[in-house]
Structure 1
Amino acid sequence: MANKTQPNDLKVADYLNQISPESRQADCRKILEMMRDISGWEPRIWGSKLANGIVGFGDYHYKYDSGREGDFFRLGFANRVQNISIYIMPGYQDFEDELARLGKHKMGKSCLYIKRLSDIDEGVLRDIMKKGLRLMAEKYPL
């Protein structure tokens, strides 16, 4: 069974333009530029609908022992009602030090939730993104 979240031809600019308020849109634009800078890749929208999409960078193919396989992005973010979700695909289990220094956030398995960039240390966020990409490259070489 493949992953239901697939890349599509929706425009990243359209995704960003529909975000409000303006302060949230500005934060998402800054995260986009951080991820573009760090990864060197151009973003794509993953998901079937613009409003629920995820801005993803890079991709990799995974295959689990169960037989499930698919493709997914290596680094990404999404605007959600309550937060901005930041995805690093190896998950955050090896990021205790960075998370302790990050600032105000909540956690999921591969998802970091922040309300706004001003709540966190952007340098630490960059370090987290770089480390996540490095761990991905070790597990899923380019």
Structure 2
Amino acid sequence: MTLAIGSDHGGFHLKETIKQHLEARGFAYRDFGTCSTTSVDYPDFAQTVAQAVADGECERGILICGTGVGISIAANKVKGIRAALCHDVFSAQMSREHNDANILALGERVVGPGLALMIVDTWLTAKFAGGRHEQRVKKITALEQE
């Protein structure tokens, strides 16, 4: 699995920590930026990562900003994206099992690196449960057609 990863300046340090963790665990990823703590606009990075996932260039993505809120809202504007903002392990697991989330959003100023890595690990290993949840995900997808 190849992951797309990106952040704005407020999520840069956590993005770098997550990249090291992904490398240690043997996950391939593409870093879509930003490359420093210089102020940038999070919608630009959300769009680039989300488009890579939507186009199938990467199977899933991880986005980080200061709170995770803005970058997740922006990513969810891209057709085919189900970005889940998770600040705890349970939400990360359920976002995959029940919602088939294809992007994980995190807030560097909200979660510390230790918790963030637990969230990432949980999100990467959890599987979509299908069943009754599949019908609900199809309804979410249908909303994009309206």
TM-score by length of 1: 0.37
**Larger relative contact order, structure 1 or 2 (CA cutoff 8 Å, min sep 6):** 2
With structure 2 as the length reference, what TM-score do the two structures score?
Answer: 0.37
